[in-house]
């Protein structure tokens, strides 16, 4: 998924779920910033204070980091390709290899445990930011289904076919095939499938994995998957709101997760499906811009506008927290410390990111017998 889902759809769903405009904006920003927080390292301030932040993404063409499976374990696995344990509950997986167990699975038991834990931390200073991070990862379990966030032949695919307007399966164009061959040299996640899993308007596309493992021909309907993601995400959002409002000790039962919490109305589902199908640019940033125009045009009931998003530079969370507009920080740079840094969105996002990574790699996955820290 790209910015049109991780930011725009998350904002729309949060608004529909009942979050305030400010909280909906924070959720959407945190969700999208998972794809944009690509700097890591120790920051020093002029007062002697310091902060160590972490990254949740690498640039697609950052071969140095993407070729390192240790880096992949810390970035792609916990935030983008959450291992699904083959869809099994704890202790139930049998006769499956390690690599099969870390393949991303939509709405897995692992994913729901992750969502529940982020809801439990909703009253922390970073609680809303961590929940936004979880919504990014949770959404990706539908888009990234079938792929693993490590370098492995399990991700390699054969030729890709799209269903065209004449209802015929045709191979993707030559330019995309060339991209596929280049990325296929480094089979991380859905790199070998290029950006096909991220396109919401693809109602049918097919491919086969080179290492079959009994998977056969894969037929994906992205529109359907994205709608399923939205349906479950809005339920999780409503549960988050209810859990935060519940008395202590918390009376809100998370064991059933979404029981009793409504999903999308028929009108809302139709609105999302129409936008998924109608906005057909391969560029995620252009689709994001179109979502903003559609909201202003009154095509999204209950959402009159979508706040602008700035990952880096003036207006960004990072700029407000650190006063820098640089894409990549200068080594040894000394930042001006202000008391507001402690409560800044940027720091709370990185706090949530670090807690989330530790939880997934050191608690959640080991509870399923998966050791990959």
Which tops the pLDDT comparison, 267 or 155?
267
Rounded CA-CA distance 349/341 in Å is 12
Q: Using CB atoms within 10 A of its CB, is residue 40 exposed (0-12), middle (13-18) or buried (19+)?
A: middle
Predicted confidence at residue 248, as pLDDT, reads: 55
% of the chain at pLDDT higher than 90: 63
Predicted confidence at residue 62, as pLDDT, reads: 45
**pLDDT bucket at 335, cuts 50 / 70 / 90:** very high
- At 219, is the secondary structure helix, strand, or coil? strand
Q: What is the mean pLDDT of residues 284-310?
A: 96
What is the DSSP code (8-state) at residue 5? Answer: I
Predicted confidence at residue 57, as pLDDT, reads: 85
Listed range (121-130, 177-186, 228-237, 337-346) with the worst mean pLDDT: 177-186
**pLDDT bucket at 79, cuts 50 / 70 / 90:** very high
Q: Residues of 200-238 as b/e, b for ≥16 C-beta within 10 angstroms?
A: bbbbbbebebeeeeeeeebebebbebbbebbbbbbbbbb
Which tops the pLDDT comparison, 289 or 71?
289
Q: List, as own/partner pairs, every contact residues 158-161 make where C-beta atoms lie below 8 angstroms and the sequence separation is at least 24, other chains included.
A: 158/207, 158/208, 158/209, 158/210, 159/207, 160/193, 160/194, 160/196, 160/205, 160/206, 160/207, 161/205, 161/206, 161/207
Q: Are 334 and 44 in contact (CB under 8 A)?
A: yes
% of the chain at pLDDT higher than 70: 88
- At 24, is the secondary structure helix, strand, or coil? helix
Residue 370 has pLDDT above 90, yes or no: yes
Tell me the pLDDT tens digit for each residue of 233-286: 999 999 999 888 876 545 456 777 777 788 999 999 999 999 999 999 989 999
Q: Using CB atoms within 10 A of its CB, is residue 153 exposed (0-12), middle (13-18) or buried (19+)?
A: exposed
Question: Would you state the structure tokens that stand for residue 279, as one six-digit string?
Answer: 């906005």
- List Cα–Cα distances, 188 to 35, 39, 112, in angstroms: 15, 20, 24
Residue 106 has pLDDT above 90, yes or no: yes
Average pLDDT of every residue of the chain: 88
Predicted confidence at residue 329, as pLDDT, reads: 77
Tell me the pLDDT tens digit for each residue of 176-228: 645 554 554 455 666 777 788 999 999 988 888 888 888 888 999 999 999 99
Residue 124 has pLDDT above 80, yes or no: yes
């Amino acid at each position: 998924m790209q910015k049109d889902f991780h930011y725009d759809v998350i904002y729309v769903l949060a608004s529909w779920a009942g979050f305030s405009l400010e909280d909906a904006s924070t959720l959407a920003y945190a969700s999208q910033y998972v794809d944009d927080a690509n700097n890591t390292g120790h920051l020093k301030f002029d007062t002697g204070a310091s902060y160590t932040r972490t990254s949740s993404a690498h640039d697609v063409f950052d071969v140095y980091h993407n070729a390192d499976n240790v880096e992949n374990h810390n970035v792609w696995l916990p935030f983008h390709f959450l291992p699904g344990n083959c869809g099994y509950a704890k202790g139930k997986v049998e006769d499956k290899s390690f690599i099969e167990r870390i393949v991303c699975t939509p709405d897995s038991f692992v994913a729901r445990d992750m969502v529940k834990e982020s809801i439990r931390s909703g009253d922390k200073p970073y609680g809303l930011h961590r929940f936004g991070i979880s919504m990014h990862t949770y959404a990706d379990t539908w888009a990234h289904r079938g792929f693993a966030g490590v370098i492995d032949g399990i991700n390699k695919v054969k030729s890709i076919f799209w269903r065209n307007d004449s209802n015929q399966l045709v191979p993707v164009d030559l330019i995309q095939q060339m991209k596929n061959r280049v990325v296929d040299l480094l089979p991380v996640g859905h790199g070998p499938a290029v950006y096909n899993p991220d396109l919401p308007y693809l109602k049918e596309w097919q491919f086969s994995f080179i290492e079959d493992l009994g998977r056969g021909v894969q037929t994906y309907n992205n529109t359907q998957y994205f709608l399923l993601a939205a349906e479950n995400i809005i339920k999780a959002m409503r549960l988050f709101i209810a859990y935060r409002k519940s008395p202590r000790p918390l009376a809100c039962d998370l064991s059933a997760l979404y029981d009793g919490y409504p999903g999308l109305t028929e009108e809302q589902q139709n609105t999302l499906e129409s936008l998924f199908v109608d906005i057909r640019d391969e560029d995620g940033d252009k689709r994001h811009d179109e979502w903003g125009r559609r909201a202003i045009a009154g095509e999204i009931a209950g959402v009159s506008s979508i706040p602008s998003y700035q990952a880096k530079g003036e207006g960004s969370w990072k700029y407000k927290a650190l006063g820098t507009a640089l894409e990549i920080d200068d080594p040894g740079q000394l930042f001006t410390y202000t008391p507001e840094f402690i409560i800044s969105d940027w720091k709370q996002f990185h706090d949530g990111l670090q807690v989330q990574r530790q939880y997934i790699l050191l608690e959640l996955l080991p509870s399923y017998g998966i050791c990959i820290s």
